[in-house]
Amino acid sequence: MTATTETGAIAGSLGPLLAGFDAGQTHTTCRLARLLGDGRLITVAEGTGAGVSHLAASGGPERFALALTSSLGQALGPGARPDLAAAAIGASGIEQGTTIQEQGRALAAAVLAMPPPQVLVTGDERTALRGAHGDLQGNNAGIVVISGTGSIALGQDSSGREHRCGGWGWLLDRSGSACDIGRDALSLSLEMADGRRRESPLRQAIWQALAQPASPQAIKALAVDPNFGAAGFARLAPTVDGLAARGDAEAQAVLDASALGLAGLVHGVARALAMERAQVCALGGALTHLPRFAAAFGAALGRVLPDASTVAARGDACQGALWLAAGSLPINSLRIRPR
């Protein structure tokens, strides 16, 4: 979606002012929009700010608060104080129906100086789903699958039923993320180093990508370092994708296995919601920036869910948050139309 700014729209009387936040681990985007009488949402400003961490983590509440204030402040400009009618925040690590979600809502309401009923806090997969498929009614019911550092799939049918697969974190889930690709390739390299598997260019390339002297012992120590984690494994994924593009069979096998796991998430959602002809929108950095992996996922999806169709996103997660905010307004009985 292309953002458009209307002069004076923030302070004007065009309609209720809404805020939609997409809060990721690296940065947060805040988009402000006016809800017009005919149901259209008109973007009036946008800003970026700090990222979030899990609310339960050390410093999590402070990072969450800073993410909202910094991104909203950039959207508004110096000294501006908006009269927000509703706000919705899609944030990494917010599980539906948990105390963490309630904690996030209370914190967001306090930070934004809004009554809690006017604030919605949910997982970023839900704002991504709403952004990708719009009003999610009738033919717009669908599934979103996200593959970045982690992976998750979420779907909603035309009656409003939801089902989610994956998203359980890198220690528990092995379903088609950049973290999985990097970790599996690094594991193969250790099998090559100790003779369980025939040597291939993958070992040397992966070890060089670690940007430090590597040995099996050093890699073992690196993998358990708290500062390495999922992001450390994910940084190896582009190396694997590049190797596969040059014909390395071991690298391609890693991508194929991960792609099949990601397609399995979509299949699980489609089966739970009886959506064999589902419209699937694939998002996330791994699918955007790893072309061999994206191709492998397309092929795997065609095998496990042959009647599904892939569609382009109608809007992004920020737009999805705005649609959720608009839908929470008691005065809003209109069907929100994407713009």
E strands along the chain, which residues? 17-23, 27-35, 41-50, 84-91, 119-123, 142-147, 151-156, 162-166, 279-283, 309-310
Distance (Å, whole) CA 54 – CA 95? 10
pLDDT of residue 10: 53
pLDDT digits (tens, 9 = 90+) for 240-259: 999 999 999 999 999 999 99
In the 8-state DSSP scheme, what is residue 158?
Answer: T
Distance (Å, whole) CA 108 – CA 117? 11
Query: What's the token pair of residue 279?
Result: 């419209």
Checking if the pLDDT of 331 tops 70, the result is no
pLDDT digits (tens, 9 = 90+) for 67-98: 999 999 999 987 777 789 999 999 988 988 89
CA angle at residue 137 from 164 to 155, to 5 degrees?
Answer: 10
Which residue shows structure tokens 């400003």? Answer: 45
Q: Which CATH architecture has domain 139-313?
A: 2-Layer Sandwich (3.30)
3 pLDDT tier (thresholds 50, 70, 90): very low
Fold entry, domain 17-133+315-327? Nucleotidyltransferase; domain 5 (3.30.420)
pLDDT digits (tens, 9 = 90+) for 167-217: 888 888 888 999 999 999 999 999 999 999 999 999 999 999 997 777 899
Domain boundaries, the chain: 17-133+315-327, 139-313
Give the global pTM. Answer: 0.85
pLDDT digits (tens, 9 = 90+) for 11-20: 555 789 999 9
Checking if the pLDDT of 309 tops 90, the result is yes
Same CATH fold assignment for domains 17-133+315-327 and 139-313: yes
pLDDT of residue 173: 85
Among 99, 100, 104, 74, which residue's Cα sits nearest to residue 87? 104
The mean pLDDT value for 150-159 works out to 92
pLDDT digits (tens, 9 = 90+) for 32-73: 999 988 888 999 999 999 999 888 888 999 999 999 999 999
For all residues of the chain together, what is the average pLDDT? 89
